[in-house]
Structures are given as C-alpha cells and as structure tokens.
Structure 1
Amino acid sequence: MSTDFVNLTTENLDHEHLCCIIRSKKLHEGIESKRQWLSDRLKEGHVFRKLNAKATVFIEYAPLESAWVPVIGDNYYYLYCLWVSGSYKGKGYGKSLMEYCLADAKEKGKSGICMLGAKKQKSWLSDQSFAKKFGFEVVDSTDNGYELLALSFDGTAPRFAQNAKTLKIESKELTIYYDMQCPYVYQNVETIKQYCETNDVPASFIQVDTLQKAKELPCVFNNWGVFYKGNFETVNLLLDVAYLKRILKK
C-alpha cells in the first residue's frame, strides 16, 4: 500500500486533481465549481486528503461549526466523505484515511467526529458499517431513517438542527437544494433542469451558497436535498432521469 498522500491547500489546489471525479473521463464543469468552493473552505480548516495517484481514494472533513450541514455541536469534525473505489479497495487505504482524521481531531483537541448515516446504507453516503468499526455510534435520527453517527472523545454528542427534522416545505413542485461541494452536482442540476424543461415539470433549484443557509435547511444534507409535493425525498446525488420519474409518479 502506498503511503504517498497529499492534503489540498490554497497553494496546490489549482494543479492537484480532484480524485472524487477521477472515475469519469468526461470533462466536468463542476470541477472548477468544486475548486472555488474548496478555495474558500480550506481557509476555514476544511481538509481534503487524497492518495497521490490517479485514483478515487480520499477523505474530506471540516470543523462542524463551519461545515455546510444542518448539524449542531461544539468542537467536532464533520466527515463529509470517505471514499475508496476500484482496485484500491481492501488494501487498507480507508483505514489509513480514517486514522489520519482521528489523529488530526485528537491533536487539535476536538471532542469527536460525526457523519451522516441511515438505518439502511444510502448511496453517496460514506460506509457507516466501516465507521462503526472505529467506534462511531448513532446519536440522533430523523423520522425518515437518516441518522447522525458520532465518535465522541469526551462524552459529548452533536445533534441534527431541529429544522433538519422538518422534512417538509411549502412548495409542492420539485425542489432541489444543492451546493458545489461535490463536482457531480453541477452536471446533475443541468441534467434535471433539461428534463424538467423538456417535459414541463415545474421545478426550483436552490443553491445553498452560505453557511447560514446550510445550517437552516429543512432536511438532512451532505450537498444535496430533494423535495417533491412538499415532502423530503432523498440526499441521493444519483438522481438520474429514471430515479426522477419514480419520484414524480408519487
């Protein structure tokens, strides 16, 4: 297993590849949006650590106070994403990245680390069974099955903001909240917009572009949240046309 890892910084961000997009050979306009989002977040203590190879092997986390999620807590890290794919699976890279995050949290005197999970593993959420091997436990939940997992060092626990448990909005049309934390967001928004315009589906796309907006969202959020007929549907970023049609049939 290679131990050659790189942490993105404001100095190397422009020329380092974003390995969360490396699986695709197509050009993604979302890459530059992600770089811009990161350039602002890195100054806030956001960490993006990746294997120094053309591979999808990375971890991304941030101080909870500045993490763009409706989760409340003091002195925690929020783990956005831990991903290892392809031939790199099963070689200890995930363990190495998680141990780095744990060591970083302890070195900085953090109270613990938390992440979004669910009673049943959801696509585009980090593997919660893997996290539980390190001691992560469920500390809060929503009525629709999403859970907040945390590894506490001092007995404290973060929680979902109360607004994250609302799971309803006034608008009945398809409504998608998104930010540019993931480079796949841009292309997904464009794909869904095109489908809705072609098929006369009323839709609203609300960009979450400030920390305050993220903390006040009416649903759990990792960079994406979908509502239809006023009800929360999913954080699944893999909202392709087939998935969208199933939602619209409700």
Structure 2
Amino acid sequence: MNEYINLNLENICIEHICCAISDKKHQDGVRLKKEWLKERIKDGHVFRKLNDRGKVFIEYAPLEKSFCPVSGNNFMYIYCLWVAGSFKGKGYGKELLKYAIEDAKRQKKNGICVISSKKKKPYLSEKKFFEKFGFETVDNIGEFELLSLNFGKESPYFNETAKQMKIKNKDLTIYYSDECPFIANCIIEVKEFAKENKIKINIEKVDTVEKAKNLPCVFNNWAVFKDGKYISNLLLNKNLAEKLFKEN
C-alpha cells in the first residue's frame, strides 16, 4: 500500500511540495506557494502527495474558491495532477485521481473538473488519462477544454469573460498567481528578457478568487498576451520568452 500525505497547517512547514524540491533558484517560489496554500487550505484546498522525495501529487479545491475562470454549482476543481520521472507507470496517478473523485463524492459535490486541451500541452492535464475515468468535455475555448466527471445532470462552464482571449493592452502582458512554485523565477527571467530587449511588459498578479473568475482568458496559474491576443499558457524563462516572442 502506497503511503500518501495531505498537507495541512501543522505539517506544511516541514513537508516538501514536490515541485522544485532542491533547485535553489525556485526556493522563493516554494515559499510563496506555501503561503498561498496556507490561505487556501482554510477553504478546503487539498494538496495530496506521495510520502517520498519526488513529483507525485494532486492538487484540487472547491470550484467556488479556485483561482480559475470556471464556474459551476458545487464542483471540485483540479489544479494539477503530476507524476514525474521514475515514478511514472506505477499507478500513482490513478490512485491520486481516484482519491480526489471519492473525496468529491464524500463531500456530496456535483462533480469534479479540470482544464485540459484537445492536444497535449505542457502544464495542463492530459485529456486521454481523464477520459479513462469518465471525464467528458463540457465546455471549450478553442483548443482548451473543460473536462468534467459529473455525478448528476449539472456541468461546470468557462465564464464568459474567459472566452474573450484578448485584452486592450498591446504590451507583452502576463497574468500569474502563486499557485505554482516555478512562477516566481519565471517572472524574474521574463522581466530580464523584456529589459534586455527593450520590450514593454505588464505583469498582472491574480491574488484573489474574484480576479481569477473574471480573467479575460483561460487560466490555471499563468497566461501570456502579446499585441492584445492570448498566445500561451507556457511558463517562460528567458530562452522560452525569446522563442515565443519571435514565433508570435
């Protein structure tokens, strides 16, 4: 039997959060993530991980309290399900997702949902994996899809604002939250890229549920706009920023 740990306000200071376990450049991001989690745990946010030193975890929360432009009546929302490296292929992902589904049922939720895409994308859950558990596409914004396992007739949906996928500001614009520990360093590197290339940049921190629910795009923790148009959910370092900027 595999042993898992759910983070709580008592153990979060001594437990790792799977991502960026030992990478020094991401430790500020880890600190910010833990502070973000402390507030979210109070709202029913669950971070469940394998009791081992690796990237094996699932993170989900009540949809009403989730930092995403998705709404629905009494659903759970999955931020991330990640199994990496040597831990792949051993059934951890299946066990974690089954736990989340059963937890949603225990709490008498109407279902559980996740943002995915028609084709596999970095930092988004893989559609084919979730379909094996009965998840179906209930809404979409272009290539992005909202998958849901409904326990009744109701379905969650993308908010109307998210379907805009554009903004008035023509500068390179990034919306982000502290949900992912890699983001703090990404912000530093993107700012450096912009400064070195004399590019105007606008950084928008999403630090409330209200802001997240009213975003003008698909969003899980990061969104990039250029010339007023949404171009990517890809977390950026300097090299990736340069590549993305040239492609778009």
* TM-score, normalised with respect to structure 1: 0.96
Match of 1:148 among 146, 149, 161: 146
Partner of 1:231: 229
Question: In structure 2, what is the Cα distance between the partners aligned to 1:199 and 1:172?
Answer: 16
Matched, 1:193 2:163: no
Instruction: Write the letter of the residue equivalent to 2:141.
Output: T
1:183 partnered with 2:177: no
Kept after mapping to 1: 8 A contact 2:7/2:48: yes
* Aligned twin of 1:111: 110
Q: Any residues of structure 2 matched to 1:1-250 within 5 Å, and which?
A: 3-22=2-21, 24=23, 26-143=25-142, 145-237=143-235, 239-249=236-246, 250=248
* 8 A Cα contact 2:117 2:126, kept in partner: no
Q: 2: distance between equivalents of 1:20 and 1:127?
A: 18
Helix, strand or coil at the partner of 1:102: helix
SS at match of 2:19: helix
Once the two structures are superposed, what CA deviation does each residue of 1:71-105 show, in whole Å capped at 9, x if it has no partner? 01011000000000111111110010011001101
Inter-CA distance 174–71: structure 2 relative to 1 (3 Å threshold): same
Q: Is the 8 A contact 1:228 1:247 kept in 2?
A: no
AA partner of residue 177 (structure 1): Y
Residues 23, 160 of structure 1: CA spacing in aligned structure 2 closer, same or farther, 3 A cutoff?
farther
Q: Which secondary structure state, in structure 1, belongs to the residue aligned with residue 39 of structure 2?
A: helix
Tell me how far apart the structure 1 counterparts of residues 11 and 188 of structure 2 sit (CA, whole Å): 29
Q: Evaluate the alpha carbon distance shift between residue 164 and residue 27 of structure 1 in structure 2; reply closer, same or farther with a 3 A threshold.
A: closer
User: By how many angstroms is 1:27 displaced?
Assistant: 4.9
User: Could you list the per-position Cα deviations for residues 206-247 of structure 1 after superposition, in whole angstroms to 9, with x for gaps in the alignment?
Assistant: 10111100100000101001100000011122x233332243
Report if aligned partners of 2:20, 2:26 keep a CA contact under 8 Å in 1. Answer: no
Provide, for residues 107-126 of structure 1, a one-character-per-residue CA deviation record: whole Å limited to 9, x for no partner. 11011010001111110112
Percent identity of the aligned residues? 47
Unaligned runs of 5+ in 1: none
**Cα distance in 2 for residues equivalent to 1:114 and 1:62:** 10
Once residues 84 and 234 of structure 1 are traced to their aligned partners in structure 2, the CA distance between those partners, rounded to angstroms, is 23
Separation in 2, partners of 1:170, 1:26: 33
Q: Which runs of 4+ in 1 moved over 3 A?
A: 23-27
CA contact (8 A) 1:221 1:235 kept: yes
Q: Per-residue displacement from partner, 1:149-177 (whole Å, max 9, x unpaired)?
A: 10101021000000000011001010000
Tell me how large the CA RMSD over aligned residues is: 1.2
Structure 2 letter corresponding to 1:136: F
**TM (normalized to structure 2)?**
0.96
Query: Size of the alignment, in residue pairs?
Result: 247
Shift of 1:248: 2.5
**Would you say the 8 A contact 1:178–1:224 is kept in 2?**
yes
Task: Tell me how far apart the structure 2 counterparts of residues 191 and 113 of structure 1 sit (CA, whole Å).
Answer: 35
Task: Identify unmatched segments of 5+ residues in structure 2.
Answer: none
Amino acid at match of 1:35: K
SS in 1 for 2:82: strand
Alpha-carbon distance, 1:20 to partner: 2.2
Between 1:240-249 and 1:90-99, the stretch displaced more is 240-249
